[in-house]
Amino acid sequence: MLREIVLDTETTGTDAKNGDRLIEIGCVELINHVQTGKFYHQLINPQRAVSEGAFAVHGISDAMLADKPVFADVVDAFVAFCGDARLVIHNAPFDVGFLNMEFAKLGPAAPKPIPLEDVVDTLLLARRKHPGAANNLDALCNRYGVDTTRRVKHGALLDAQILAEVYVELLGGKQTSLGLSIAEPAGSVTVAALPDSGSVGPRPIRSRLTEAERLRHGSFVESLGTNAVWREYLEP
């Protein structure tokens, strides 16, 4: 059984090394890449003001945080929820940097820092899969058809739920391995399917390129000129 925790945070600003703090943590549990419905969500009093720039992104005000617990009071529940599961984060250095900063403020009894190399960074996955394309969370949702209509502002729990859907798509879709059964979930994408007796071969793979990406690729191909060796394998 593979247990993973998809995690997102919101903060007072962008600089963990110069005083900005965590104000929200959202986590959802995946078992074998399927959301179980279990989640962890917590607003945190950062004991400092939220910057105007950060407020414009997530809409969490100082007044909303005034009566919330400080990080030291919630860290045990957060760590217990995560357990020894692998973390999945988009742009992991940002969130891990803030979490490790908060851990460090707790002193000798603090949890061990999170090793960045142990975290699955979906931004890196996306960059490898879609080089040269926009790979922020909004762009990935558009590319994979993930519904974001409920998302007016950034929020840690909602973004973690959305990222969980994107993560599965980055791994290859709702069906991440070869399927041996005839029935498959609606909307699933199969890289290769074992043909049954009535099949004439594998079904075509649905293109996930946007029109803008297709046009950029076409321009890049034209810029290589007519003498490129690889054209011998593409042109009759």
Instruction: Considering only residues 199 and 32, tell me which one the structure prediction assigns the higher pLDDT.
Output: 32
Is residue 201 pLDDT above 60, yes or no? no
Is residue 152 pLDDT above 70, yes or no? no
pLDDT given at position 216: 74
Alpha helices by DSSP H, listed for 18-121, are 52-58, 62-65, 71-82, 92-104
Per-residue pLDDT of 45-82, as tens digits, reads: 999 999 999 999 999 999 999 999 999 999 999 999 99
Is residue 31 pLDDT above 50, yes or no? yes
Under 8 Å CB-to-CB from 178, ≥6 apart: which residues? 190, 191, 192, 193, 194
Is residue 138 pLDDT above 60, yes or no? yes
Structure tokens at 53: 């720039």
Tokens 């990222």 found at: 163
Q: How do the domains of the chain map onto residue ranges?
A: 3-170
Estimate to the nearest angstrom the gap between the alpha carbon of 51 and the chain centroid. Answer: 24
Active site residues: 154
Closest CA to 12 of 48, 41, 40: 48
- CATH of range 3-170; options 1.10.10.350, 3.40.50.1240, 3.30.420.10, 3.90.1150.10: 3.30.420.10
Which DSSP state fits 152? S
Rounded CA separation 232/236 (Å): 8
Q: Summarize the confidence of residues 148-176 as an average pLDDT.
A: 84
Q: Summarize the confidence of residues 13-22 as an average pLDDT.
A: 95
Average pLDDT value over all residues in the chain: 83
Structure tokens at 89: 């984060």
193 and 175 Cβ atoms separated by less than 8 Å: no
pLDDT given at position 22: 98
Under 8 Å CB-to-CB from 66, ≥6 apart: which residues? 45
Is residue 36 pLDDT above 90, yes or no? yes
Under 8 Å CB-to-CB from 236, ≥6 apart: which residues? none
Instruction: Considering only residues 180 and 29, tell me which one the structure prediction assigns the higher pLDDT.
Output: 29
Structure tokens at 51: 């910057």
